[in-house]
Amino acid sequence: MVRDFDRQRSELKMQIRKSNTALKEKNEIIEQLKGEKTRLEKRIAIITKNKAALRGRVAENFLSAQAVARASKNATVTTSTKDLTPQNNEFCIMNAVDRGRHISQINNAPNVQNTVDIVENTDTLSDNEDVVAVEKEITPARFGKNVRWNEPLTTMTSISPSLSARSPLDYANPDMKLILTENNMVGRASLYRSEKDFTVYTLTHCGCHFYEYSNTDTRWIHSSKLYQVNYYGQAGATTVEMCEGKLLVRHFLTGQLEIYRGGGETTLMTPDGRRIEVIRDKSGSVRVEIYELDGRVRIRGRDEAETEHRATQTSCHRMDGSYASHIISDDSMEWRSPDYTVHRFKNGDTKVRLNLTDTSITMLVMDVGTVKHLSNSLDRRLPKYCVEWGTVARKRSRVIAATHSRVLNQL
C-alpha cells in the first residue's frame, strides 16, 4: 500500500516537472513571438512612414512643377481679360504681340466702328500639356490646379507720345483706372484700381520696372530689359527669365530648385538636397546623373545601363563651360556658368548672380525675395537694393505706408 502511494507520488512529480518544462518552453516561445511582433510592427510603421513621405514629396514636387509649367503656357489672367462689355467707339484697336500675348494699342481712326473681343476669364486651366518625369516612379498625370499669372499693365512709358493723350489703361484695361501717383522710397509709384483688383506699377530710382498685383504676384524687369523675375504668391514659386521668354531658374518655397539650360539640359534639387542632373554630350546623347544624400552618384545612359561611383567636389561639366561645385565649408551647392551663377544653401535658400547686368537675386524659403544691384552705373548714390517681394515685404510696406505712402498702403 505504501509502495503504491510512493510510486504514484513519484509519477505525479514527474508529470509536474514535465508540465512545468513544457510550460516554460511555451512561455519562452510566446515571449519570442511577442518580441518579433513588436519588431515587425515597428518596421512596418517605419516603412509606411517612409513610403508616405516619399509619396508626399513626389506629389508635391510633381504638382508644383506641373502647375507652374501649365500656367506659364496658358493665356494670362489680367484685368483686360475680365468680363468686359463690348463697346462701339471711334478708336481702332490694333493688336501687337508681346511674348506671344496680345496687348491692345489705340490709334485715332474716325468713322470706324469696332467691337472689342471678349476673352473669357476662367479659373480652370487646360490640361493639354503632358509632363515628362525624370524619375521612373513618377508617372505623368493631369491635374486641374489653377494658378493665376498676371501680365504687367501697359504704362505711359511704353506708349508713344502721340498715343498718350488719354490714359492707355482706359483702352487696354477699361476697368482699371489710374488712381494715384507718388514718389516713394522705391521710385515713382502709380496705383491702378478696378472694382475688384488693383496693380501698383513702380519705376524704380535705378530705372527698373516693378509690378505688384492684388493676388500677391509681382514682376520685376531690369532696366536693360534683359532679365525679369516673376513671383507667384499662390504657387509659392519664383522664376528668373530672359525677357524674350527663356526660363533660367525656378525656385519654390519648399526649397526645390530647378535650373534650365539650352538643349534640354536641366538641374533639379529636391527640398531634401537630392540632386538630379540631365546632361547632353557632344554626340547629342543624354545621360542622367542622380546625386544621393549619402555621397553616391548613379549615372544612367541612353541604353538605361546604370553605373555608380562616389561624388567629387566638382561635377556636371557641360559643353557651355558650366559646372557644379560642392562648397564643403557650409555644405552648399553652386552652379557656375559664363552668364550667371546659382548658389543654393543647405536650407533651400538660393542666390542668383546675373553677370551681364551685375545683379544679385535672393530667394529665401521664408517667403522673402530681393534684387540687388552689385554696381550701379547710373549713379553711385543710388541704393544697391532695388526691390523686394513676398509676405515680409508686404508687411513692411504696410508699416511704411502708415505714415509715408498712400500707394503702398494698398499692399
pLDDT band at 51 (very low <50, low <70, confident <90, very high): confident
pLDDT at 176 over 60: yes
pLDDT at 188 over 70: yes
pLDDT at 140 over 70: no
Q: What predicted TM-score, i.e. pTM, was given to this entire model? A: 0.58
b/e sequence 81-97, b meaning 16+ C-beta within 10 Å: bbebeeeeeebebeeee
Mean of pLDDT values over 3-8: 82
Mean of pLDDT values over 97-110: 36
CA 74 to chain centre: 17
342 versus 160: the higher-pLDDT residue is 342
C-alpha cell at 131: 509632363
258 versus 68: the higher-pLDDT residue is 258
Calpha distance 136→239 (Å, rounded): 26
**Average pLDDT taken over every residue of the chain:** 73
pLDDT at 365 over 90: yes
Mean of pLDDT values over 215-229: 93
Most confident range (mean pLDDT) of 136-140, 152-156, 325-329, 398-402 is 325-329
Q: Which pLDDT tens digit goes with each residue over 268-297?
A: 999 999 999 999 888 888 889 999 998 899
Count other Cβ atoms within 10 Å, centred on residue 384: 14
Q: What is the pLDDT of residue 161?
A: 35
Q: What is the pLDDT of residue 411?
A: 55
Mean of pLDDT values over 284-312: 86
Q: What is the pLDDT of residue 55?
A: 79
| Percent of the chain clearing pLDDT 70 (strictly above) | 67
The DSSP bridge pattern shows strands 187-193 and 198-204 to be antiparallel
